[in-house]
C-alpha cells in the first residue's frame, strides 16, 4: 500500500513538474521558437489561417493565426512570459506579506495577534474578485498593477499557515529546550521553524501561483489587467472571444495552456503537501 | 457584520483615494469650472470625507443607495432587478456542485480499483483548474455554435414577453442552462477533491469496520456512517467557498451577459460609476456573509457535536 502511494506521488510530481518545466522553457525560448515574419507582412493574406498551415510567405503556423495575422503559437509563448512572471512575482509578494503577518501574529503580544488574525479573517471573507475589480478600477490597469493587486490580496492563506506552523512548533519540547539554552528568537525561527514550515508553505505558494495566473487572465479578460498588445494568456483568450466562430483556435490554445499549467501547479502542490504531512 | 462594515469602509476610502474625478467623467472636457463646482456640490462631493461617509451609511441602511452617475437611475432599483438573478445562479450552482461533488467524492473514496480513482482524480484536478470565463467560451462554442441547442446570452429570449407561461418557463431554463453548467462544473472539481480527501481519511476508522462487520452493505456504510461523519468539514467549506462562487459568477455573468450583480459591478467599474460600485460591493458582501451564517447553521443541524462544543 505504502509502496503504491509512493509511486503515485512521484507520478504527480513528475507530470506536474515536467509540464511546468516545459512551459518555462517555452517562455524563455519564445524568441527562438516563433517563425520569422518580416516586419511588413500582408495582413489580409495571413489572417485567420487554421492550425498547421504554411502562409504565402512560407512561414509555418503551428496553431494558426489570429485576426491580425499574428502567429498564435508565438503569441502563446510570449504570453507565457507575462503570465508566469505575474504568477511568480505575485506569490513572492504574497509570501513576504504572509510570512511577516503570520510570524508577527505568532510571536508578538496577544493584542497584536488578535489584530492581525482578525485582519486575516476579514480579508479572507471578502470576495477576492470584487476587491480586485475595485482596485483595478482605481488605477490605470497594467502589468505591474496586476502583480501588486494580486499580491496584496493573496497573502491570507500563507499568513494563516505560517501562524499555525510557528505556534505548533513553538509548543514542542525541542523549541522550548532551545529557548531554555538561551537561543534567540530569530535563530529559532531560522533554524527550527522555517525548515518545518517550508514544505507546506511551498505547497501553498505553488497552488497560489496557479491561482494568480488564472486571476490575471480573468482580469485581463475583462480588460482590467494586462493591456493589449502585450500578450498574456488572458488577453489572448479575450482576443479569441471575438473570433469564437471563425477562428476558435485563437481562444482555445491559450485556455488549454492555462488549464495545463494550473493543473500542473495543483499536482505539484498536492505531492509536496503529502510529503510534508508524512514528514510530521 | 464586521466584515460587511469593513468592506464598506474600505471601499469608500479606496474609491475616494482613486485618481480620476467622477465629475470630469460626468460633464466631459467642455465643462466650465463653475459647472464643475455646481455638480460637485449637487453630488455632495465637496463635503468632508467623514460627512460623506456618514451620510452614505445613513441612506444605505434605509435602502437608498443614491443614483447611478452613468444611467441616472436609482441604484436600489438596479440592484433589486439584478440580485435575484445572481442569487439564483449562485445557489443553484452551489447546490448542484456540492451534491454532485459529494456523490462523486464518496464513490471515489470507496472504489477499490485504482484506475477509476486515478481517472476521477485527474478529472477533478482538471475541472478545478479551468477558469470560468474560458469554460464559458468553450460552452458557447459547443452548445450554441456547433450543436445550436442553447442560447448564449441573457436570462430570457427577446420574444419572452409574447410566450405563454410554460414556454416562458422553458425559455428561462434554456437561458439558465449554460451559465449554470459552467459554474457547476468548475465548483464540482474542488468539492470532489475535498470530499475524497476528507472521507478517505475515515476509510480505515474503527467504527466503520464495526459497521461492516455487522453485515451492513458497503454503500449503506458509506452513506450512513462515513458520509455523515465526514460531512462537517465539507459544510464549513461550503461557507468558505461562497466568496469563490460569487467571484466565479462575476466572470460567468460577463460571458453570458447574465443580468446580475456581477454585471452591475463590472459596468460600474468600467464607467467609474462610484455610487454603483459602492452599492454592488455592499450587496455582494452581504450575500457572502449571509451564506457563511447559513453554513454555520447547517453544520450545527448536521452534527450535534458542533452544537455541544459551541455551547460549552
pLDDT in tens, A84-119: 888 899 999 999 999 899 888 888 888 888 888 888
Q: pLDDT tens, A158-190?
A: 898 888 888 888 888 888 888 888 888 778 888
CB contact under 8 A, B247 and A259: no
> Residue A38: pLDDT band by 50, 70, 90 thresholds?
very low
Lowest mean per-residue pLDDT among A27-31, A152-156, B22-26: B22-26
Most confident of A50-54, A262-266, B84-88, B128-132: A262-266
Segment holding A10, helix H or strand E:
helix A2-28
Interchain CB contact of A95 with B (< 8 Å): no
Interchain CB contact of A133 with B (< 8 Å): yes
Nearest CA in chain A to B280: A130
CB contact under 8 A, A237 and B133: yes
Which grid coordinates belong to B203?
476509510
Backbone conformation region of residue B97, classed left if phi is above 0, alpha if psi is from -120 to 50, else beta: alpha
Distance of CA B110 to the CA centre of its chain: 31
Residue B1's SS3 state is coil
Contacts of A156 in chain B (CB under 8 A): none
CA distance B206 to chain A (A): 19
pTM of the complete model: 0.78
Residue B79's nearest CA partner among B291, B256, B295, B287 is B287
DSSP letter for each residue of A158-225? HHHHHHHHHHHHHTSHHHHHHHHTT--HHHHIIIIIHHHHHHHHHHHHHHHHHHHHHHHHHHHHTTSS
Residue with cell 448542484: B96
Query: What number of residues does chain A have?
Result: 280
Q: pLDDT tens, A125-144?
A: 677 777 777 777 677 777 88
Nearest CA in chain B to A213: B131
* pLDDT of the residue at B210: 83
Residue B46's SS3 state is coil
How many CB pairs (< 8 A) connect A and B? 121
Which residues fall within 8 angstroms of residue B248, CB to CB, at 6 or more apart? B93, B132, B183, B186, B187
Average predicted confidence (pLDDT) for chain A = 79
Lowest mean per-residue pLDDT among A122-136, A199-213, A242-256: A122-136
Which grid coordinates belong to B146?
456547433
Cis peptide, bond prior to residue A229, ω within 30 of zero: yes
User: ipTM strictly over 0.85?
Assistant: no
Contacts of B265 in chain A (CB under 8 A): 130, 133
Distance CA A100, CA A159 (A): 8
pLDDT truncated to tens, each residue of chain B (312 aa)? 566 777 777 777 777 766 566 666 666 667 777 777 777 777 666 667 777 777 777 777 777 777 777 777 778 888 888 878 888 888 888 888 888 988 888 888 777 677 788 888 888 888 888 887 888 888 887 877 777 777 766 666 666 666 667 777 777 777 777 888 888 888 888 888 888 888 877 777 788 888 878 888 777 888 777 887 777 778 777 777 777 777 778 888 888 878 888 888 888 877 777 778 888 777 777 777 777 777 777 777 776 666 655 544
Contacts of A124 in chain B (CB under 8 A): 240
Contacts of B14 in chain A (CB under 8 A): 134-135, 138
* pLDDT of the residue at B17: 67
Q: Which residue has the higher pLDDT, B12 or A154?
A: A154
Distance CA A25, CA A18 (A): 10
Interchain CB contact of A248 with B (< 8 Å): yes
CB contact under 8 A, A134 and B6: no
Q: Note the helical H segments in chain B.
A: 2-17, 22-27, 33-42, 49-61, 75-110, 114-129, 132-139, 165-202, 206-213, 218-220, 228-240, 242-256, 261-270, 274-302, 304-311
Distance of CA A131 to the CA centre of its chain: 18
Amino acid at each position: 500500500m505504502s509502496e503504491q502511494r509512493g509511486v503515485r506521488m512521484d507520478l504527480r510530481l513528475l507530470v506536474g513538474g515536467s509540464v511546468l518545466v516545459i512551459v518555462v522553457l517555452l517562455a524563455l525560448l519564445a524568441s527562438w521558437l516563433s517563425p520569422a515574419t518580416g516586419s511588413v507582412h500582408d495582413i489580409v493574406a495571413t489572417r485567420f489561417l487554421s492550425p498547421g498551415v504554411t502562409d504565402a510567405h512560407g512561414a509555418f503556423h503551428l496553431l494558426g493565426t489570429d485576426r491580425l495575422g499574428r502567429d498564435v503559437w508565438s503569441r502563446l509563448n510570449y504570453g507565457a512570459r507575462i503570465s508566469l512572471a505575474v504568477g511568480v512575482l505575485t506569490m513572492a509578494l504574497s509570501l513576504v506579506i504572509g510570512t511577516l503577518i503570520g510570524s508577527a501574529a505568532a510571536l508578538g503580544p496577544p493584542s497584536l495577534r488578535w489584530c492581525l488574525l482578525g485582519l486575516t479573517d476579514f480579508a479572507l471573507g471578502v470576495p477576492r474578485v470584487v476587491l480586485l475589480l475595485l482596485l483595478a478600477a482605481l488605477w490605470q490597469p497594467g502589468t505591474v498593477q496586476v502583480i501588486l493587486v494580486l499580491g496584496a490580496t493573496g497573502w491570507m492563506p500563507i499568513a494563516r499557515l505560517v501562524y499555525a506552523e510557528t505556534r505548533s512548533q513553538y509548543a514542542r519540547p525541542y523549541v522550548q529546550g532551545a529557548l531554555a539554552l538561551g537561543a534567540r528568537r530569530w535563530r529559532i525561527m531560522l533554524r527550527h521553524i522555517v525548515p518545518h514550515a517550508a514544505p507546506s508553505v511551498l505547497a501553498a505558494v505553488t497552488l497560489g501561483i496557479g491561482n494568480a495566473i488564472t486571476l490575471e487572465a480573468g482580469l485581463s479578460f475583462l480588460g482590467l489587467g494586462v493591456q493589449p498588445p502585450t500578450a498574456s494568456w488572458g488577453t489572448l483568450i479575450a482576443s479569441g472571444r471575438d473570433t469564437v466562430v471563425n477562428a476558435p483556435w485563437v481562444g482555445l490554445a491559450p485556455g488549454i495552456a492555462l488549464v495545463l499549467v494550473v493543473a500542473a501547479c495543483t499536482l505539484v502542490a498536492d505531492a509536496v503537501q503529502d510529503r510534508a504531512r508524512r514528514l510530521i | 457584520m464586521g466584515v460587511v462594515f469593513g468592506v464598506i469602509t474600505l471601499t469608500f476610502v479606496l474609491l475616494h483615494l482613486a485618481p480620476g474625478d467622477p465629475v470630469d467623467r460626468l460633464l466631459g472636457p467642455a465643462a466650465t469650472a463653475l459647472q464643475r463646482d455646481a455638480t460637485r456640490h449637487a453630488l455632495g462631493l465637496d463635503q468632508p470625507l467623514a460627512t460623506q461617509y456618514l451620510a452614505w451609511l445613513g441612506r444605505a441602511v434605509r435602502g437608498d443607495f443614491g443614483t447611478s452617475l452613468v444611467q441616472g437611475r436609482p441604484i436600489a432599483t438596479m440592484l433589486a432587478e439584478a440580485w435575484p438573478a445572481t442569487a439564483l445562479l449562485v445557489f443553484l450552482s452551489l447546490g448542484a456542485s456540492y451534491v454532485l461533488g459529494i456523490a462523486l467524492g464518496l464513490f471515489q473514496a470507496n472504489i477499490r480499483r485504482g484506475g477509476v480513482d486515478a481517472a476521477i482524480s485527474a478529472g477533478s484536478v482538471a475541472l478545478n483548474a479551468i477558469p470560468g470565463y474560458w469554460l464559458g467560451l468553450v460552452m458557447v462554442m459547443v452548445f450554441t455554435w456547433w450543436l445550436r441547442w442553447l442560447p448564449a446570452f441573457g436570462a430570457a429570449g427577446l420574444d419572452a414577453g409574447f410566450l405563454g407561461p410554460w414556454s416562458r418557463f422553458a425559455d428561462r431554463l434554456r437561458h439558465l442552462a449554460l451559465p449554470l453548467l459552467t459554474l457547476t462544473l468548475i465548483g464540482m472539481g474542488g468539492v470532489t477533491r475535498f470530499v475524497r480527501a476528507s472521507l478517505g481519511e475515515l476509510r480505515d476508522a474503527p467504527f466503520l469496520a464495526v459497521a461492516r462487520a455487522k453485515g451492513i452493505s458497503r454503500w449503506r456504510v458509506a452513506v450512513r456512517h462515513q458520509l455523515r461523519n465526514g460531512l462537517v468539514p465539507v459544510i464549513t467549506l461550503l461557507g468558505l467557498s461562497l466568496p469563490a462562487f460569487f467571484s466565479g459568477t462575476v466572470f460567468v455573468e460577463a460571458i453570458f451577459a447574465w443580468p446580475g450583480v456581477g454585471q452591475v459591478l463590472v459596468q460600474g467599474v468600467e464607467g467609474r460609476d462610484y455610487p454603483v460600485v459602492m452599492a454592488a460591493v455592499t450587496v455582494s458582501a452581504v450575500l457572502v456573509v449571509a451564506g457563511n451564517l447559513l453554513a454555520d447553521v447547517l453544520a450545527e443541524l448536521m452534527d450535534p457535536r458542533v452544537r455541544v462544543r459551541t455551547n460549552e
